Amino acid sequence: MGRKKITVVGAGNVGATTAHRLADKELGDIVLVDIIEGMPQGKALDLAESGPIEGYDSRLVGTNGYRETAGSDIVVITSGIARKPGMSRDDLLNTNAGIVGSVAEEVARHSPNAIIIVVSNPLDAMAQVALRRSGFPKHRVIGMAGVLDSARMRTFLAEALNVSVENVTAFVLGGHGDTMVPLVRYSTCAGIPVAELLPKDVLDQIVTRTRNGGAEIVSLLKTGSAYYAPSAATVEMVEAIIKDKKKILPCAAYLEGEYGVSGLYVGVPVKLGAKGIEEIIQINLTTEERAEVQKSAAAVQELVHVLKI
Ligand SMILES: NC(=O)c1ccc[n+]([C@@H]2O[C@H](COP(=O)([O-])OP(=O)(O)OC[C@H]3O[C@@H](n4cnc5c(N)ncnc54)[C@H](O)[C@@H]3O)[C@@H](O)[C@H]2O)c1
């Protein structure tokens, strides 16, 4: 059995860093696709030339087409334009829908059995575009957001608690936007609920900072948006699938009744394994938390409503 084949579409900040991390972990052979001539080829060659030093044998190929992507096991879609200061994720909607839709069609044509991980924003709406345009079943089209949002929350919690980030778990549900739902009640430090360890005002600040986590980086960088943590989050999902880990991670999944939401991508805990989303995990929510998830889903619905897909 040969190595798995992973295609990363969009060789910009998130795509190239994802390819870098995938190669470092030797998760498979990697094809980088972008529309800019020479750029994916150059980045793939540069990454391949790090192999002898870093000790990975992943083969890396860059291309402006899809022939080289044929038969991919996983395709990560990062193509599109990134947020600029003052721009909301929703401003990206129609430009990125056109890009993600055409990419999803190419993926379906060349890699009919692939699992698609969508990264392009606005995330939940783009996952929906990829689902429709690929024609894939819902368990093979997954959105990356919750792993990133909860990693941000874990960073802030660990900092406030002055403990290892590895001790801290956090759950962020809902859409990947200002209405996301960081769940303090399900966040723990070494198994202890964080609500028992930190005062409410500190937790409230952490929830707000998590919600604005993407915008905080955008305003610091001034050109472009975050990519180190987004690529790390994407690679955790790829690894869970490739190694059939059955890992429970918050991801954007197409819901059909779960959490009271139907026909939409919303962030929920899912079990990721070789088949993609193998289960949607339903956790008990308080009336207030449930209302927040519904509100977040309504924000996603508004975007999807205006999409021409
Ligand atoms: N889901 C998340 O949590 C999350 C986190 C970070 C970034 N993002 C999103 O990921 C996307 C990529 O961000 P980035 O920082 O890498 O942007 P970037 O501008 O650095 O890279 C995007 C790349 O896509 C390429 N591209 C455009 N149209 C294409 C097409 N039709 N086919 C192939 N490639 C195409 C561009 O040439 C560019 O190189 C953005 O939409 C951004 O908002 C999402």
* Amino acid identity, position 100: V
Tell me if the pTM is above 0.95.
yes
38 lines ligand 1 (CB under 6 A): no
> How far, in Å, from the CA of 119 to the mean position of ligand 1?
8
Write out the E strands in the chain. Answer: 5-9, 29-33, 60-63, 74-77, 115-118, 141-143, 168-173, 181-189, 192-193, 247-256, 262-273, 276-280
Query: What average pLDDT score do residues 186-213 get?
Result: 97
Q: What is the mean pLDDT of the chain?
A: 95
What is the phi/psi pair of residue 267, to 5°?
-75, 125
Counting ligand 1 atoms within 8 A of each CB, the residue from 7, 34, 300 with the most, and so the one to mutate, is: 34
> How far, in Å, from the CA of 192 to the mean position of ligand 1?
38
- Return d(Cα 115, Cα 73) in angstroms, integer: 6
- In degrees, rounded to 5, the angle at the alpha carbon of residue 47 between the alpha carbons of residues 42 and 50 is 130
The tokens describing 67, both together, are 């022939």
- Return d(Cα 294, Cα 97) in angstroms, integer: 23
Residue 176 catalytic? yes
Q: Whose CA is nearest to atom 39 of ligand 1?
A: 12
For 13-33, how does the pLDDT look when each residue is reduced to its tens digit (9 = 90+)? 999 999 999 999 999 999 999
96 lines ligand 1 (CB under 6 A): yes
Running DSSP on this structure, what letter comes out for residue 174? B
- Return d(Cα 37, Cα 57) in angstroms, integer: 25
Running DSSP on this structure, what letter comes out for residue 36? S
35 lines ligand 1 (CB under 6 A): yes
Q: List Cα–Cα distances, 46 to 14, 40, 174, in angstroms.
A: 16, 10, 38
* CA of 15, closest atom in ligand 1: 16
Per the model's pLDDT, the better-predicted residue between 91 and 180 turns out to be 180
Residue 237 has pLDDT above 80, yes or no: yes
Residues 6+ apart with CB under 8 A from 239: 25, 27, 245
- Return d(Cα 295, Cα 162) in angstroms, integer: 33
78 lines ligand 1 (CB under 6 A): yes
Residues 6+ apart with CB under 8 A from 145: 123, 124, 175, 176, 180, 250, 251, 252, 267
Q: Whose CA is nearest to atom 38 of ligand 1?
A: 12
Q: Which of 20, 110, 139, 176 does the annotation list as catalytic?
A: 176
* CA of 123, closest atom in ligand 1: 1
> How far, in Å, from the CA of 14 to the mean position of ligand 1?
7
Counting ligand 1 atoms within 8 A of each CB, the residue from 18, 20, 81, 141 with the most, and so the one to mutate, is: 81
11 lines ligand 1 (CB under 6 A): yes
Residues 62, 44: contact at Cβ < 8 Å?
yes
> How far, in Å, from the CA of 189 to the mean position of ligand 1?
34
For 84-115, how does the pLDDT look when each residue is reduced to its tens digit (9 = 90+)? 777 766 677 888 999 999 999 999 999 999 99
pLDDT recorded at residue 141: 98
* CA of 17, closest atom in ligand 1: 16
Which class for 51: exposed (0-12), middle (13-18), buried (19 or more C-beta within 10 A)? middle
State the pairing for strand pair 247-256/192-193.
unpaired
Query: What average pLDDT score do residues 66-89 get?
Result: 88
pLDDT recorded at residue 309: 64
Q: How confident is the model at residue 211 (pLDDT cuts 50, 70, 90)?
A: very high
Q: Whose CA is nearest to atom 33 of ligand 1?
A: 34
Residue 226 has pLDDT above 70, yes or no: yes
Q: How confident is the model at residue 214 (pLDDT cuts 50, 70, 90)?
A: very high
> How far, in Å, from the CA of 48 to the mean position of ligand 1?
22
